[in-house]
Structure 1
Amino acid sequence: MNVLVYDGPGASQTSVSLTLKSLKDLLLPNYTVQTISPQTLATAPWTANCALLVLPGGRDLPYVTALGPSNDKIRSYVRGGGSFLGLCAGAYYACKRVEWEVGTPMEVTGDRPLRFFNDVGRGCTYPGFRYETEEGARPVKIQLHGSDSEKQPFIAAEGLYYNGGGDFVNASTTPNIEILAEYTEGDAKGKVAGVFCKVDKGNAILWGIHPEYSLTEQPALQAIEKAQPSIMQGQVQTMEKARLDLMRDTLVRLGLVLPSLGAPQTIRPLPQFLVSAPSKSASLSTSWNSILDAAGQESILKDLNDTFVFHSPASTQAAYRDALEAASAPECEHRHIIGHTDGSSPSSILTPSFNITKYFEALEAPRSSHSEEPEIGEIMLFGEIVTSTQTLLVKNSKFMSLLPSPLVSLAAQQLSGRGRGSNTWLSPPGCLQFSLLLRTQLRSFPASKLVFVQYLFGLAVVEACRTESILGKLGEQVRLKWPNDIYVLLRDGGMKKIGGILVNTSFTGGTIEIVVGCGLNVLSQDPLTSLAHIASQAGAEVDLTMELAAASILSTFEGMWKEFVEGRGSFEPFMDKYLERWLHSDQVVTLTTVEPHIPVRIVGITSDHGFLRTIPEEPGRYSHRGESFIDLQPDGNSFDIMAGLIKVKT
C-alpha cells in the first residue's frame, strides 16, 4: 500500500522533504512512501492502493488551481473509506472556507472544495509570518485531548514547529469533528490546533502546526533555540519523543499499521550469494570463472550502475565487513558477490529469511526428468538485503552478460524495488521478490511476441498458487488483472492486489535478454493482503513457506516457458487458461478519450500482438480504422480497469 505526499504548485519543498522523511521513519517497511504530482492525482488510478494521502504545508492559494482537476477524486477517495492528512496549508485547503491574514496585504479568503472540516480555517494564529522566511516561525505548546473511549487526561506537547498555521473555527459545534489539540499560549490560548474529521466512511486529520518537522533538526531546532537560548539537548530530545508519539497517534487514528518500535532497520545492502543446485555446480563453476576473468586480479567489475566485488566463500567475513563499513562511507559502497561453485550453500545464519537448501530440495521434487543444463531456478543469486533485484540486472549490462541463464535473483528485502512506470514496489517481510534472467535467440523468437512474456509469467504464478505446495484449492481465489498484476478475491466480495510483474528486454547481437521481475505477498501481515490471508480466512492449515512458493512458481513456469519458446512465442496454447484466470471477461469499461465516452465490452486478447480486444456496446460504433472492435495496447493506455475506465493514448 502507498502513502502519497502531494508535490506540486503550492507545496513547500521543505515541508515535502520533511514529511517524506518523517513518514518513512515511522512507516517503513509496512508502506511505501512517495510523492504524487497534481497530474497523476487527476489522471492515474492511485486510489486503489493508497493507504493515506497527505497534503503538506506551503501555500493554500496555488492548491486551488493545481488540485482543481483532482478534487472530485480526492473527495470520493476519502468518503469511500480513504484517509487524508492535511498539514498547515494542506489543512487550510481541506476546510470549507479559508480566512487568512484578513485586512493585511497578504489576505487570502475564499471557499474551498474538499470541506473535510465543514467550517472556517482561520489564521495566522500567531503573528509575524513572512513568506519564504523563518521570521514568523516559533515553537508552540499544545494540549492534546484524549479520546472519550480512552478516558485519558489531557497531556501537553511542546516545542512543535509553527509557521503560519491556523485554527479551526467552531470545531466544538461542527458535526462529525473531534478536537485533537488546542493552543495553550498567548492570544491563541484555547484555539483549536488539530481536528479529526469523520468524512462518510473515511477519515481526515488536519493540523495547523507542523508535527512532521523533527525538533532535533533545522528549521525547528533553530526556532526552539531562538525562543530558549539556554535549552539543553536532553530537553529537546524529550520534546522530540513527544512529537514522534503525536505523529504515531495521528497515523494510527487514520487507520495505518505501524511497525514495532524496536524493529531493526538495516539501511545498506548485504553481500549476495551465487549458488546452484548441487547437480548444477559444474555449470556454475564455468560461469564463475568467466566472471573472475572479466573482473581481473582485483576481482572488481565496474559497471554502468554498480561496482561489483567477487569473493570466494573463504572471504565471506571480509565481504560482510566491507559491506557494513559502507554505512559510514556510502561513496565507497560496492555490491559484494560470494560464489559457491561446489554445490554448497551459505550458512543459514547468513540467510535467516530464506533457506536455500530447502528451496533447492523443493525445486527438485516436482521434476520428473532432469537436464544436464541448468533449468529455471537451479542457479540463484540470493541476498538478504539488496537495492533492487531488477535494477542489479537491468542497469548493469556487463555483469548481466556474464551471468548464466536461466538465473533467478532473489532477495528477502529490497531497498528500492521497482514497479511499473515510476512506481516503487513495497518490500515488507513476507513478500517474495525476485527477478528471472532468460536468454533466447531472435532468429527463433519474434520480437513482437515478447509482450506475451508478462502474461505467461502471470499465468504461471496463478497456476502455482493452486498447487498443493502453496494453497491447493484455495488458490482458485488468486486471479490475473490485465496486463501484469496479481489479485486475490476476498470472501466479502472485494479484491486486493497481492503481486505484480515487470518485464525488461534488451538485445545483444542476435540474443534477446529478458528480465522478469515479480513481487508476491506470500506471508505478509496487516495492512497488506497476502496468500497467508487466504488460508487464514478459510481457517485452513497450510504449510506455506517462501521457499515452497518460489520453487513452485519457477517450476511451473519452466514447463510453460519451454512450450512457449518451442512455439516461437505463440500464446495460443495458453490463451484459454489465461482467460479463465483473469478478472475481465465480459467486463464493460469506458473509453474516456473520446466524446461522447464509449462503453466497450472486453472480449479477450489478440493472439498477434497481445492487445486487449474490446467491442463497443452501442451498435454502429467503430474504431478509427472502421473496425467493429477496438484494440488497446498494454503500454499505450492510461487506465483504471478495475474502476471501469480506460483511456487510449493518442
Structure 2
Amino acid sequence: MILSAGYVVLYVVRLLSRSRRRKMYLQTIRQVVQKHSIFIKKSVSEKWSAAASTLIQCPLVKGSQRFTHKPLLEDDHIAMMSVEPKQVVNLTDGWTEYYRPQGEYREDSTHEDVVLLLEARRPTNVDTFLEHELQVSPAEKVHILAHGAAVAWKSGSSFGIILHCTLDEFVTLSMAFCEDRLTMDEDLEVHSIMSVKIEGKSSSLVLNQEIDTDTAKKSALKPKRNSADTDTNDSNAGDGNDIAKQLAHLLAPPQSEQDQLTDLWSNESLASNSSIGRTSELLDMIDAESQDAETVDRSMMESGAGEELSDFELAGSSSSTSGSLSQSWKFVRQASVAKPPNVLVYAGKIDSVRKFNKVKKIMQQCLDSESYVIYHLKHEELETTPWIENTVLLVLASKKKYTDANETFMKYFRAGGKILGLGSGFDQELVEQTLIRKENWIVNLKYKTWSDVSLISGMYSYDISKTIAEDSHVTKLASDTNGNVLIVRVNQETKGSAGSAILSQVLFDKDAGDMGVTPEMFNALKKSNSARFEILGQLLTTLGLECNTASPPVLTPAVLVAREEISKQSFLKSIEKRLLSGVLKFGKQTLHFTADDSVPAEENLLPVLTEESEPFLKNFNKGKYCENLKSRILGNTVMYVDVIPTTMTLLDGLMFSVPETTGLIAIARQQTQGVGRGGNNWLSPIGCAMFSLHVKLPADSNLGKAVSYLQHITSLAVVYSVCKQEGYQDIDLRLKWPNDIYYGREMKLGGVIVKSTFMDGMVHATIGCGFNVDNSNPTICINDLIQLHNRQDGTSLTSCSTEQLIGRCVTYIENLIDQFQAEGAESFKQMYYEKWLHSNNTVTLQSEGNKEVKIVGLDEYGYLLVETPSGEKISVQPDGNSFDMMKNLISMKIR
C-alpha cells in the first residue's frame, strides 16, 4: 500500500515538474522567437561565456557567423540561447524537398509561424544509443513528424531537417529533446534545434505535375498507407516510417547530386506496386489451338506474390484462350478490363478517417482477404492521384454532395467502374430520390430470401421510374415493408463500357451502436447482424467481387531453426545481454525467446521457440530447405513462423547484434499484413515463398556503393532458383525493372522490397521477397507454369516446394553478391539483361514533355538508363504515384 502511494506521489511530482518546465519554456520562447533565432542544445558543464560560440556553430546554416547571443535559460537538461540576427537557411544550398504523403501532419495556416532546423548525427556509441532507445517506452517517445510538417532535408556529416510547426509544438519538441524522448526512428539522434528563416527553393526528387483526367486514365494509383494507421498510434509516438525511409537511411555525405539521389533510392528499393500489360500475346501463347474457350481466369490477372496488381486489358472477342491450364483456373471473359484487387472507400471531407474505418471493417469481413486490399480515397486525392484505372470497386460512404467529387465519380462510372453507394450524395447523379424522413431510421428490409431484417437506413427512397444518368437502366433490388425502394442497381448501357452501381439507402456500415435506440430496437438490430453481412456479401457478389467470411488465420509462434546447431547457439549468445527474462523489445515489436511452446503469439508479441517444436514446424520441411541451401553464410539461421503479420520488421532489432556468420532469415508460411512498396499491403496467401533476409555489406565495397542493385540481384536469384535446375531452363520467367518477377511479359509472379541502413561503416540491408510457388489463386504460380510446360513439351518435371526454392534463391543471392563485389556491376548486368523484359523497348518520359526514349540498360547505380533520339542519355527512376513503372518515369540526371 505504501509502495503504491509512493508511486502515485512520484508520478504527480513528475507531472508537476513537466508542467512547470513547459510553462517556463513557452514563456521564454514566446518572448523572442519572432525576432531572433532560438538555439537549443543539450546542457554542458562549461559556462555560457566560455562555450557559447562552440554551442551555436551549426554547419547547416550558411553565411555569416557574426552574431550576438544571449542566454535565455539553462536548467539541468538543456541550454537555450537567443541568437541575433535571425539565422537564415538557404534551401537552394543542397537541400532536398521532403515528400510528405497525404495523411501525415496537417498544416494550420493560422498558426504556422515557426520554422525549425533540427540537426541530427549518427550516434557515437551505438550500443548506448540502442540501449537508450529500447528503454524509452513508445508511449513516452515524441516523433518529430507528429509535431511538425517536414519541409526539406539535407545529408552530410550533420543531417538536417527543416520543420514547420506551431509555437506550442516547438515547446513539445524542446521538452522531449531535453528529456531524451525525441526520436527520428532508426539510428539518428537529434543534437540541436534552432528556429530559423528559410529562403530559396529546395530541389525535388519527384516532379510535381498536374494530373488531369486523361493522365489519370493512363496512370495508376499508388495506394498510400491508410491515415487511420497513423491516427491510431499514440500522439506522442507518431508513425515516423516515412521519414525513416526518406531520411534516416541516407548513409554518408554524397559527393554529387547523383550520389545523393542514389542514396535515397538505395535506402529503400522496393517492389513495384503493380504492373500493367496486355494479355493478348499470353492468351495466344497458352494454347493457340483452342478458339472456343468461353472463360478466362480472372485470378490470373490479379496480384502475385504481393502488393497490388495491374490492369490487364483483355483481348477482344476473337482472343483465344486455353483449356490446357489447370482446372482450378476458372476463367471469366470480360469485355473490357480485369481490375486489380483494390477497393477504394471515399468518406467525404469531414470525419473521414473514422467513417473510413467503419466501412473498412465491415468490408474486410465480407471480401476475400487474399484477393482485395482496401484503401482510403481522400477528397484531396480525387484529382491529384490517378486511381480511376486501377480500382475494382469504389465504395461511397459520404451522404454530403460534393460537386467536384461527383463529377469524378461519374467519369469512373462511365469508364466502366463499379460503385457501391451507402447513403451517398452521389446517388442523385444516377437516379431520382424521394425524401421520406429527416434522419436515419430503422427499417425492416425485404431482399431475396431475407424478410423483415432490421437495418439502419438513410432518409431517402429511390424512384426507379426516373433515371437521371444517360444510357443507363435502374433495377429495384430491395425495399422495406412499406414499399419504399431502398436498394437499386444502375447499369450503364453505353456500347464499350460496363459501368455498374449498387446504390443503397441501407447503411450496412452502421450497427446498433451508431443510433440512440430503445433496448427493443437494439436487440432487433443485433439479431439481424448476421443477415446484414450476408446481404452485403450478396450485393458485392452481384458486382462481381469474391466474398469470403472465413475468420483470419491465428498468429503462431516462431521457431528458431539452424542448418548447424553452432549457428543457433552463436545467435542466442549474441543477444543474451539484451534480453530481459527472455524478452527483447525494439520499435513496436517484442520477441520472447523461450522453450515454452504454450506462449500465445500476438500482433506485436512474437514468441520465438529456441527448441524445435514439431507442432509449429509441421508446415516447414527443414530437410528440403537445408538440402537446397548451398550458401556459406546467408540463410544459416532461420526464424520460421506459420502465420505472422509481416516478416519485414522481424529482423530490425537483431541485425546489429548478430555475428557475421549468423545468416539470419525469417520465413513465413502466411502473412496477414505483408508490406509492399511505400507501405502498401502485400497479399500473402499460402503457397507463396516469403522471406526476409539480413545482408551485411562494407559501405566502401562495390555493392555497398550501389545498394540499389540488391533488388536486381534478388529478383535474378528468384529466376535462377527455378531456371538453373536441370530441365527447367525453358520455364519463361522474366524480370521487370526494378524488382518484379514475371511470367513472360504479362503476369507478375513476385516482388522484392529492400530496406537498408548504415552503421559503423557497414550497410545493413533487409531483403523482403515473395514469389508464387504453389498458389494458383488469386493469380498464377511457378508450379502452374511447370505443369503447363509438361503438357506442352511432353516433359515430366516435378513441382517445386517453397522450402526448395527459398533455399536455392538464398544461395544464388549470396553467389551473385560475391560476384558483384569481386567484379563490379558490368558482369552482373549482362546476366540480368538475359532475363529482363526491356531491351530496346521504348517508353515515354512524361517529365520530359512526353518524349519517347529507348531503354539501353542500367546505369552504375541501378537506375534505368534511356537514350533520346538525339543520343542524349538519361537516368530515370519510377514515378512513385504510378502502378506501372514503365508508364510514368521521371528524369533524374542528364549525362
TM range (shorter): 0.7 to 0.9
Aligned to 1:402: 658
What is the rounded CA distance, in whole Å, between the counterparts of 1:42 and 1:643 in structure 2? 22
> 2:613: which partner in 1?
346
Q: Distance in 2 between matches of 1:201 and 1:156?
A: 34
Q: Which residue of 2 aligns with 1:456?
A: 713
Secondary structure of 2:597 counterpart: helix
Displacement after TM superposition at 1:258 (Å): 2.9
Q: Deviations over 1:415-454 (max 9, x none)?
A: 3221111312112222222111011222334643111111
> Residues of 2 paired with 1:45 and 1:550: CA distance?
36
2:343 aligned partner:
4
Cross-structure match for 2:198: none
Equivalents in 1 of 2:445, 2:876: separation in Å? 55
**1:382 Cα shift?**
0.9
* Contact persistence 2:395–2:419 (CA under 8 A): yes
Cα shift at 1:514? 0.9
Matched, 1:598 2:851: yes
Taking structure 2 as the reference length, the TM-score comes to 0.55
Alignment of 1:180-329 (within 5 A): 180-186=476-482, 189-191=483-485, 193-197=487-491, 200=496, 202-213=498-509, 215=511, 217-219=512-514, 222=515, 225-226=517-518, 229-231=519-521, 233=523, 235-259=524-548, 261=549, 263-267=550-554, 269-277=555-563, 280-296=564-580, 298-312=581-595, 315-317=596-598, 319-320=599-600, 323=601
Alignment map for 1:34-433 (pairs within 5 Å): 34-37=375-378, 42=383, 50-61=391-402, 64-66=403-405, 74-75=412-413, 79=416, 83-89=418-424, 92-93=425-426, 98=428, 120-123=430-433, 125-128=435-438, 136-144=439-447, 155-156=450-451, 158-167=453-462, 169-170=464-465, 177=473, 179-186=475-482, 189-191=483-485, 193-197=487-491, 200=496, 202-213=498-509, 215=511, 217-219=512-514, 222=515, 225-226=517-518, 229-231=519-521, 233=523, 235-259=524-548, 261=549, 263-267=550-554, 269-277=555-563, 280-296=564-580, 298-312=581-595, 315-317=596-598, 319-320=599-600, 323=601, 334-340=605-611, 345-347=612-614, 349-363=615-629, 367=630, 374-394=632-652, 396=653, 400-402=656-658, 405-433=662-690
Residue range with higher mean Cα deviation, 398-407 or 503-512: 398-407
Please say if residues 144 and 180 of structure 1, whose CA atoms lie closer than 8 Å, have aligned partners that are also in contact. no
CA distance 1:426–1:597, change in 2 (3 Å): same
Post-superposition offset of 1:516 = 0.5
Structure 1 stretch 579-588 or stretch 498-507: which is displaced more? 579-588
Equivalent pair of 1:640/1:646 in contact (CA under 8 Å): no
Q: Cα distance 1:55–1:310, how it changes in 2: closer, same or farther (>3 A)?
A: same
Aligned equivalents of 1:300, 1:466: Cα separation in 2: 42
Is the 2:685–2:775 contact (alpha carbons within 8 Å) kept by the matching residues of 1?
yes
Aligned residue for 1:609?
861
Corresponding residue SS for 2:810? helix
Aligned residue pair count: 543
Alpha-carbon contact 1:180-1:196 (below 8 Å) kept: no
Residue type of the alignment partner of 1:510: G
Distance 1:449 1:70, change over 3 A: farther
Deviations 1:340-363 (A, max 9, x none): 4xxxx431x213432223322333
Contact 2:344 2:391 (8 Å CA) reproduced: no
Hey, what's the Cα distance between the residues in 2 that align with 1:498 and 1:354? 22
Is contact 1:384-1:412 (8 Å) kept? yes
| One-letter amino acid of the structure 1 residue matched with residue 559 of structure 2 | F
User: What secondary structure, in the 3-state scheme, does the structure 2 residue paired with 1:579 have?
Assistant: helix
**Which whole-Å CA distance do the structure 1 matches of 2:789 and 2:409 have between them?**
39
Amino acid at match of 1:346: S
Query: Is this contact kept in 1: 2:476–2:485, CA < 8 A?
Result: no
For residues 251-280 of structure 1, what are the alpha-carbon distances to aligned partners after superposition, in whole Å with 9 as ceiling and x for unaligned?
222333333x4x44235x422112111xx2
1:27-38 alignment runs, 5 A limit: 27-37=368-378
**Aligned twin of 2:875:** 631
Q: Distance in 1 between matches of 2:413 and 2:522?
A: 45
Match of 2:139 in 1: none
Determine helix, strand or coil for the equivalent of 1:527.
Answer: coil
Residue in structure 2 matched with residue 644 of structure 1 by the alignment: 887
| Distance in structure 1 (CA, Å) of the matches to 2:787 and 2:810 | 25
Structure 2: how far apart are the matches of 1:465 and 1:212? 47
Distance (whole Å) between structure 2 residues aligned to residue 427 and residue 307 of structure 1: 22
For 2:835 and 2:747, the matched residues in 1 are separated by: 15
For residue 65 of structure 2, what is the aligned residue in structure 1? none
The Cα shift of 1:458 comes to 0.8
Partner of 1:507: helix, strand, or coil?
strand
How far, CA to CA, are the matches of 1:496 and 1:171 in structure 2? 44
> Residues 242 and 532 of structure 1: is their aligned pair in 2 closer, same or farther, counting only changes over 3 Å?
farther
Could you tell me how far 1:139 is from its partner in structure 2? 1.9
Mapped to 1, the partners of 2:880 and 2:552 lie a distance apart of 38
Distance 1:168 1:357 in 2: 66
On the 8 A contact 2:432/2:467 being kept in 1, the answer is no
Q: Pick which of 33-42 and 608-617 moved more.
A: 33-42
8 Å Cα contact 1:44-1:640 kept in structure 2: no
Q: Distance in 2 between matches of 1:232 and 1:37?
A: 32
Q: TM-score with structure 1 length normalisation?
A: 0.74
Name the larger-Rg structure.
2
Q: Structure 2 counterpart of 1:460, which letter?
A: A
Partner of 1:512: 763
Q: Does 1:499 align with 2:775?
A: no
Structure 2: 5+ residue stretches without partners: 1-302, 304-340
Over 3 Å counting, the alpha-carbon distance change for 1:67 and 1:177 in structure 2 is closer
Q: Contact (CA 8 Å) 1:579, 1:585: kept in 2 or not?
A: yes
**TM-fit CA distance, 1:474:** 5.5
Name 1:622's counterpart in structure 2: none
Q: Name the SS for the 2:689 alignment partner.
A: strand
Do the aligned partners of 1:22 and 1:214 also contact (CA within 8 Å) in 2? no
Alignment-derived partner of residue 115 in structure 1: none
Q: Residue in 1 aligned with 2:832?
A: 578
For 2:778, the equivalent position in structure 1 comes to 527
Contact 1:214 1:240 in 2 (8 A): no
Preserved contact between residue 300 and residue 309 of structure 1 (Cα < 8 Å): yes
Structure 1 position 406, deviation (Å): 2.1
Note the residue ranges of structure 1 that are not aligned, 5 or more in a row: 99-111, 113-119, 129-135, 146-153, 620-626
Query: Percent of aligned positions with the same letter in both sequences?
Result: 22
The structure 2 residue matched to 1:550, chosen from 806, 810, 816, is: 806
Preserved contact between residue 5 and residue 16 of structure 1 (Cα < 8 Å)? no
| Residues 555/177 of structure 1: CA separation in 2 closer, same or farther (3 Å cut) | farther
AA of the residue aligned to 1:137: N
